């Protein structure tokens, strides 16, 4: 096991990464109240719920399992109410610890439930997908979706700890593994050029689920994100760079209907669009844009958006994204491999040109698989 710490003063917390951590009650015990409400989904529960329940019981907690439907389309008010109702029915008081067992959807949903239940209770992130382990479990962003936009209702609510058992990646569906690599690539492109070069050489190992390679990308991604979160917890400045590829990506997810494209696929296409926009804005070289596109393609992710979405629809959706300000769309762009910046002065016609050039003609079948 390897550990690091997110430095947030009295809200600092550890991130533990390694195999077999689901079976380590000593990692959980310091962060648990008398009751642990384990929020998970119908896909993860048959594989890991009983195992984690046993570990939490050995750590001294009463366990209340809450199993919800699987999918981004269920990250909504109805499912949130299901979680809160189950906790109330089990008479969970303010000493309860909410445990998020699953991927990014579960982490966001359970974290938001913890943020609002009886005005805020403790929670633990126990991510079981690559995307959650490298990105969404770290940083305290919690949310549910709204029909008008992704993650539009939420709160900043930091976990007490992140316990990432990389052994769970062995049961991850191929599509989810590739989706997680999108966030890995993102961290490199915006923060660490040397990491990008390593990914270019080792993408095959990651797709083959080489355990040391996967552990390395989980740990490095957590290190990079933890540094950004510690410097800018509530996204007032630096942390915005973590949204690279997400302005376009969130528009894809919302425009296509939640669940049609999984988050990592949308971010993959979004990063290619953002790289192309960076090139056309005169910020990066053609070789930098090519490297970004090639790395996304090497991970088996789409390099173009859906043909069904028009440029007008993209711009409409991006204008109501959380990252928009004063009606201006804020884009996270590259100024080099490993360095990013925010721009809100990109002409709409240039954005349209990029969208039209990355329209995804003939790629829609990828997402039906």
Q: Is 146 a catalytic site residue?
A: no
The residue annotated as part of the active site, out of 186, 220, 239, 291, is: 239
The residue annotated as part of the active site, out of 43, 150, 225, 293, is: 225
Q: H helices within the chain, ranges in order?
A: 25-28, 50-58, 77-89, 104-116, 130-131, 174-191, 193-207, 211-231, 246-256, 263-280, 286-298, 311-319, 348-357, 365-368
Q: Is 41 a catalytic site residue?
A: no
The residue annotated as part of the active site, out of 176, 183, 253, 276, is: 183
Which residue shows structure tokens 């719920």? 49
Q: Is 141 a catalytic site residue?
A: yes
Q: H helices within 32-165, ranges in order?
A: 50-58, 77-89, 104-116, 130-131
The residue annotated as part of the active site, out of 235, 253, 265, 276, is: 235
Q: Is 62 a catalytic site residue?
A: no
H or E stretch covering 218: helix 211-231
The residue annotated as part of the active site, out of 157, 186, 263, 291, is: 263
Give whole-number Cα distances, 206 to 20, 134, 175, 181, in Å. Answer: 19, 13, 13, 9
Q: Is 225 a catalytic site residue?
A: yes
The residue annotated as part of the active site, out of 43, 160, 250, 330, is: 250
The residue annotated as part of the active site, out of 43, 141, 186, 280, is: 141
The residue annotated as part of the active site, out of 26, 91, 119, 361, is: 119
Which residue shows structure tokens 């070789």? 287
The residue annotated as part of the active site, out of 178, 186, 246, 291, is: 246
The residue annotated as part of the active site, out of 243, 253, 280, 330, is: 243
Q: Is 322 a catalytic site residue?
A: no
Q: Is 243 a catalytic site residue?
A: yes
> Would you give the DSSP letter of residue 44?
T
Q: Is 75 a catalytic site residue?
A: no
> Would you give the DSSP letter of residue 282?
T
Mind telling me the catalytic residues? Answer: 119, 141, 183, 225, 235, 239, 243, 246, 250, 263
């Amino acid at each position: 096991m390897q550990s690091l710490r997110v430095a947030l003063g009295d809200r600092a917390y550890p991130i533990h990464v390694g195999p077999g951590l689901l079976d380590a009650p000593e990692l959980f015990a310091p962060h648990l109240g008398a009751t642990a409400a384990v929020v998970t989904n119908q896909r993860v529960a048959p594989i890991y719920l009983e195992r984690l329940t046993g570990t939490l019981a050995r750590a001294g907690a009463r366990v209340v399992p809450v199993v919800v439907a699987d999918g981004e389309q269920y990250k909504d008010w109805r499912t949130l109410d299901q979680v809160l109702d189950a906790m109330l029915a089990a008479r969970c008081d303010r000493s309860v610890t909410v445990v998020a067992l699953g991927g990014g959807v579960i982490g966001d949903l359970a974290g938001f439930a913890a943020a609002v239940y009886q005005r805020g209770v403790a929670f633990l992130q126990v991510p079981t997908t690559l995307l959650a382990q490298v990105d969404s479990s770290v940083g305290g962003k919690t949310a549910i979706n709204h029909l008008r936009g992704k993650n539009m209702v939420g709160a900043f609510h930091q976990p007490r700890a992140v316990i990432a058992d990389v052994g769970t990646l062995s049961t991850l569906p191929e599509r989810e593994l590739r989706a997680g690599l999108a966030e890995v690539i993102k961290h490199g492109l915006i923060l660490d050029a040397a990491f990008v070069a390593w990914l270019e050489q080792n993408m095959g190992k990651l797709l083959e689920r080489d355990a040391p390679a996967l552990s390395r990308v989980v740990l490095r991604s957590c290190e990079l994100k933890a540094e950004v979160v510690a410097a800018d917890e509530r996204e007032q400045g630096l942390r915005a760079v973590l949204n690279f590829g997400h302005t376009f990506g969130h528009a894809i997810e919302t425009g296509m209907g939640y669940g049609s494209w999984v988050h990592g696929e949308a971010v993959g296409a979004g990063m290619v669009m953002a790289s192309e926009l960076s090139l056309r804005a005169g910020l990066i070289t053609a070789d930098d844009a090519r490297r970004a596109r090639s790395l996304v393609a090497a991970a088996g992710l789409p390099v173009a958006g859906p043909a069904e979405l028009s440029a007008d629809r993209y711009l409409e959706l991006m204008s109501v994204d959380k990252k928009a300000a004063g009606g201006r769309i804020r884009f996270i762009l590259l100024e080099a491999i490993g360095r990013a910046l925010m721009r809100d002065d990109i002409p709409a016609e240039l954005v349209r040109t990029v969208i039209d050039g990355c329209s995804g003609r003939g790629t829609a079948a990828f997402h039906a698989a």
